[in-house]
Structure 1
Amino acid sequence: MRLGKRLYQWFAALVHELTKFGVVGALAFVIDTGMLNLFNVVVGIGPLTSKVLATVISATFAYAGNRLWTFRHREQSGLGREYFLFFLLNGIALLFGLLVIGFVTYTLKLTDPLSMNIANIVGVGLGTLFRFWSYRRWVFLEATTPIPVELPEVKQPR
């Protein structure tokens, strides 16, 4: 019975984290796609450079959302460490997007905005699987001691 309860608690916590991660990711995706189209279609910057710029902006938003909301109950191992690892892992995930966009643009010669956006969706999807796994594993570590949900009560002086 204990194993069943622990398994249920682990699964419930995972679903809770995954849901929050999905909300932050969806908002970051909207930012990423908007910036990608702004830089590539409106400004006229190349698709790969546009993707890198869009990812830097959306990843900055995602870091704040994940640190302050999704994984706030996890150990805080230092802003510098987390930020470095977060952007290193996002750089690796960015490679998925760059490979797909590069393949569609330069190999298939599909340069229209619709093709670029479909390629972006595929690349972001692949990168998202990697990011969720890697953030939980290396960036936002499991708490070693329980983090209180509420602040402790303070006794008032008489």
Structure 2
Amino acid sequence: MSRLSALNTRLRLLYREIAKFGLVGIAGIGVNLVVFNLLRSATNLQTVRASVVATIVAIAFNYVGFRYFTYRNADKSGRGKELGLFTFFSAIGLVIENGVLYGATYGMGWDGPLANNFWKFTGIGVATLFRFWSYRTWVFRSLPAQAVEQAEAILSDAEQQARVNAAGK
């Protein structure tokens, strides 16, 4: 396989990964914001407390989406370790996300439904950059590149053999 072809394949896989991560992430953002706004309107929870609960619900939703959709082909050995790392990095993301909201709400005094949703969404955006990097680097590790190249070579050989067999008939 040429270097250009290998680079093209890697970029295509990265774009696909980002798209799948984005779909799960958008759904998770929806879950997060709906739960946040329901808690804010139906309970007396303070802004950041309601946000933390909503973030935890979204984290659980996202784990299922990432494990069974975005990274379903990732190495499945060591699920306990995977879940532990996911929880650890998600907790850091929770602190980032809610730290932005806390700073805006209590530090700057920007409180109210519109301001709360704006800063929550902003915090989600900042935390998402961290989460994407950490999940793909540490949690949902891909199979080694060498194994992928070997699998591609086997598939390529099988396709060539099938063409030869079809031409011979």
Q: TM-score range by the shorter chain?
A: 0.7 to 0.9
Distance apart, 1:22 and its partner CA: 0.3
The one-letter code matched in structure 1 to 2:45 is I
Distance apart, 1:111 and its partner CA: 1.5
**Residue 55 of structure 2 is aligned to residue 51 of structure 1:** no
Q: Cα deviation per residue 1:63-99 (whole Å; 9 max; x = unaligned)?
A: 0110001011111132211111111101101111111
Q: Is the 8 A contact 1:93 1:130 kept in 2?
A: yes
Equivalent residue pairs, number: 147
Distance apart, 1:49 and its partner CA: 1.1
Q: Cα deviation per residue 1:100-154 (whole Å; 9 max; x = unaligned)?
A: 11111112212201100000111000111111110111001111445x9xxxxxx
Q: Structure 2 length as normaliser, TM-score?
A: 0.82
Correspondence for 1:74 = 74
Q: Cα deviation per residue 1:32-67 (whole Å; 9 max; x = unaligned)?
A: 001111112321201111111111111111001100
Q: Write the distance in 1 (CA, Å) between the matches of 2:143 and 2:119.
A: 37
**Between 6-15 and 37-46, the greater mean CA deviation after superposition:** 37-46
Aligned with 2:66: secondary structure?
Answer: helix
Q: Write the distance in 2 (CA, Å) between the matches of 1:111 and 1:44.
A: 15
Aligned with 2:95: secondary structure?
Answer: helix
Correspondence for 1:9 = 9
Correspondence for 2:28 = 28
Which of the two has greater helix per residue?
Answer: 2
Q: Write the distance in 1 (CA, Å) between the matches of 2:141 and 2:18.
A: 15
Aligned with 2:142: secondary structure?
Answer: coil
Correspondence for 2:120 = 120
State the identity %.
33
The one-letter code matched in structure 2 to 1:27 is A
Structure 1 stretches of 5 or more lacking a match?
149-158
Aligned with 1:111: secondary structure?
Answer: coil
Correspondence for 1:63 = 63
Q: Aligned-pair RMSD on alpha carbons?
A: 1.5
Correspondence for 1:37 = 37
Q: 1:110-149, aligned counterparts within 5 Å? A: 110-144=110-144, 145=147
